[in-house]
């Protein structure tokens, strides 16, 4: 089995929809909606997780894959934790996956931290969050930590890679940079296929989720705050059912030229905030990760101890 654990905003959707779900390809995903994986491996309270039941549930998938000569695959970026909550349960999920499938192979795709943080902040707003970027990056009362919040430790990727290597074995964990895939998908896909003992080239195209304009996300935050009650925003004045999602759907219908100047100004401001806040903060982690996975991450813009200047 291959288990793809994320990270968020690192080509997960492309891999899931085009590589793993290719009906004539090397992989066989489980039937049904993808969020069922979250219900089975993430949602159960720690003392309620039933590893035996989870294993039994996916036994038919293993049998079908063996009959068809394909690789069973479980893929969900939530397996690496949820960035706005600091990945507080990432090791809990790793342990659960290992208890169920100790012989699995693990795929981890990372993305340069500052770009990932900005992209995930936009996703947080799309998911229902109402905090501005500065407050999102600075959870209140961090010395108490009563509710999980953003943590830069989540983005020190070497820790999770080391955890999976300790559980499954170093030879069963493949960690790749998103930037290599974005630059040239073919070599990355071939590495994934070779990792599971396959050679056939997959029919994957280079796509990504559409990016919402910064000005639209500014408006979305207000909708989330005042008209929606969800996990990420509790202070609504009036709850209007699915209005948050209906409003979000308008994003694709707006002409980006209308707000281009405002968007550029907002994006420059947010980029400057993130670059200043995390100047050099991930250099040590990225240097360790480069050694672990055999990639010079500095060539893709990652901070490392040898190259960090900001």
- pLDDT reported for residue 108: 98
For residue 255, which phi and psi values (nearest 5 degrees)?
-75, 115
Burial class (CB in 10 A: 0-12, 13-18, 19+), 253: exposed
Domain borders along the chain are: 2-210+281-300, 214-277
Q: How many other C-beta atoms can be found within 10 angstroms of the C-beta atom of residue 168?
A: 20
Taking the model in full, what pTM does it have?
0.94
CB half-sphere exposure, 174, CA atoms < 13 A: 18
Strand partners, 174: 107
Nearest in space to 114 (alpha carbons), one of 296, 300, 306: 300
Classify 28 as helix, strand or coil: strand
CATH of 2-210+281-300, one of 3.90.45.10, 2.60.40.1180, 3.40.250.10, 3.40.50.300: 3.40.50.300
Express each pLDDT in 137-160 by its tens digit. Answer: 998 888 888 889 999 999 999 999
Cβ-contact 10, 116 below 8 angstroms: yes
CA dist 17 and 185 (Å) reads 15
- pLDDT reported for residue 142: 80
- pLDDT reported for residue 238: 72
- pLDDT reported for residue 202: 62
Cβ-contact 96, 51 below 8 angstroms: yes
State the maximum Cα–Cα separation within the chain, in Å, rounded to a whole number.
Answer: 56
Which residues of the chain carry a pLDDT beneath 50?
none
Token pair recorded at residue 177: 């940079």
Token pair recorded at residue 264: 């550029």
- pLDDT reported for residue 206: 63
Classify 37 as helix, strand or coil: helix
| Matching residue, tokens 């407050």 | 135
Nearest in space to 12 (alpha carbons), one of 84, 97, 73, 92: 73
Radius of gyration of the chain (CA): 20
- pLDDT reported for residue 207: 61
- pLDDT reported for residue 270: 98
- pLDDT reported for residue 141: 86
- pLDDT reported for residue 309: 59
């Amino acid at each position: 089995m291959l288990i793809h654990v994320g990270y968020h905003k690192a080509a997960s959707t492309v891999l899931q929809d085009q590589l793993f779900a290719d009906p004539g390809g090397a992989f066989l995903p489980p039937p049904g909606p993808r969020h069922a994986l979250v219900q089975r491996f993430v949602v159960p309270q720690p003392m309620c997780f039933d590893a035996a039941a989870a294993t039994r549930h996916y036994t038919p998938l293993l049998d079908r894959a063996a009959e068809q000569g394909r690789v069973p695959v479980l893929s969900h970026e939530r397996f690496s934790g949820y960035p706005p909550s600091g990945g507080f349960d990432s090791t809990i999920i790793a342990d659960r996956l290992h208890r169920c499938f100790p012989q699995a192979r693990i795929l981890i795709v990372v993305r340069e931290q500052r770009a990932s943080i900005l992209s995930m902040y936009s996703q947080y707003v799309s998911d229902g969050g109402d905090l501005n970027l500065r407050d999102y990056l600075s959870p209140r009362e961090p010395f108490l930590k009563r509710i999980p919040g953003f943590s830069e430790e989540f983005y020190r990727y070497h820790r999770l890679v080391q955890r999976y290597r300790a559980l499954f074995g170093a030879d069963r964990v493949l960690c790749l940079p998103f930037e290599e895939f974005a630059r040239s998908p073919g070599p990355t896909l071939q590495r994934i296929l070779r990792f599971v003992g396959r050679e056939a080239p997959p029919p994957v195209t280079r796509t990504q989720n559409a990016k919402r304009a910064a000005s639209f996300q500014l408006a979305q935050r207000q909708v989330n705050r005042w008209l929606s009650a969800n996990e990420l925003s509790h202070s609504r004045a009036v709850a209007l059912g699915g209005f948050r999602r209906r409003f979000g759907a308008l994003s694709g219908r707006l002409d980006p030229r209308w707000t281009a100047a405002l968007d550029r100004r907002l994006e420059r401001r947010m980029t400057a905030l993130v670059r200043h806040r995390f100047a050099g903060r991930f250099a040590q982690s990225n240097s360790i990760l480069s050694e672990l996975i055999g990639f010079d991450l500095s060539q893709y813009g990652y901070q490392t101890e040898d190259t960090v200047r900001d």
